[in-house]
Amino acid sequence: MMLAALLLVVQVGVAAQDPRLERLDPETRSVVVWVVDSARAVGLPSEPLIQRALEGATKGAAGPRIAAAVRRLATDLGTARTALGQRTSAPELEAGVAALRAGASPEVLTRLRDARRPPLTMALAVLADLVASGVPADSASAVVLAMAPTARDADLVEFRKAVERDISLGAPPGASAAVRAANTGIRFGTSDAAQNPSQPPRPPSRP
């Protein structure tokens, strides 16, 4: 049977030999090994999965919780790769997962891929981090997509930092993002910017 054959393959899979996973209890370890090897078999990066397991181990989390987290991450990596393409690098996929979990839709990821030269890591990370600071996902997606064609990675990071500074001074996150996006010459919040990322906006003015 296919399942038995797959399990047999997993028995001698590379993850089983990774000494770092010895930190897990045997039951959790076998689940994680299975997930890692399955992911690797379809070309997904294994290192993020292993690190997630090790994080759980270090933090003393229960085995089932670790296994669930690793499974969830593997699934999300797959979703990110579907949205971003087969040749996406591991850092981009990890950042893509962060963006998806922040609330960006897979469609936004695909648009970003079409709007910007790789690597997309920083753009996706800024998107995720903006949402983490409280900017609504739709707004964050729109502004990152609008900046994507022309902004450098450093510009995106600066944008995120500026928004975070505003927030720390009491600004509503969405308002800060909107104001600063307007300041960079991007028409923020219009359907144009969100749906036509290939149409370059006015070049952002450097502060």
Max Cα distance, the chain (Å) = 63
Q: Is 58 in the site for another protein (CB under 8 A)?
A: yes
In terms of CB distance, is 129 or 166 closer to another protein? 129
Q: Is 40 in the site for another protein (CB under 8 A)?
A: yes
Q: Is 90 in the site for another protein (CB under 8 A)?
A: yes
The residue from 102, 109, 146, 148 that contacts another protein (CB under 8 A) is 102
Q: Is 131 in the site for another protein (CB under 8 A)?
A: yes
Per the CB < 8 A criterion, the answer to whether 174 and 136 are in contact is yes
Q: Measured from the CB of residue 200, what is the shortest distance to another protein in angstroms?
A: 21
Identity of the amino acid at 9: V
Residues 140-169 within binding reach of another protein (CB under 8 A): 153-154, 157, 160, 164
Residues 13-32 within binding reach of another protein (CB under 8 A): 14, 17-20, 23-25, 28
The Cα–Cα gap between 85 and 95 comes to 14
Q: Is 98 in the site for another protein (CB under 8 A)?
A: yes
The Cα–Cα gap between 26 and 28 comes to 6
Q: Is 139 in the site for another protein (CB under 8 A)?
A: no
Closest by Cα among 56, 76, 54, 77 to 65: 56
The Cα–Cα gap between 115 and 181 comes to 17
The residue from 6, 30, 63, 183 that contacts another protein (CB under 8 A) is 63
Q: Measured from the CB of residue 45, what is the shortest distance to another protein in angstroms?
A: 4
The Cα–Cα gap between 173 and 66 comes to 33
The residue from 8, 41, 42, 55 that contacts another protein (CB under 8 A) is 55
In terms of CB distance, is 47 or 114 closer to another protein? 47
The Cα–Cα gap between 139 and 23 comes to 41
Q: Where are the alpha helices (DSSP H) in the chain?
A: 2-11, 26-41, 47-58, 63-84, 90-102, 106-115, 121-133, 137-147, 153-168, 173-183, 191-195
User: Contact residues for another protein (CB under 8 A)?
Assistant: 14, 17-20, 23-25, 28, 40, 45-48, 51, 54-63, 65-66, 68-69, 72, 89-91, 94-95, 98, 101-102, 118-119, 121-122, 125-126, 128-129, 131-133, 153-154, 157, 160, 164
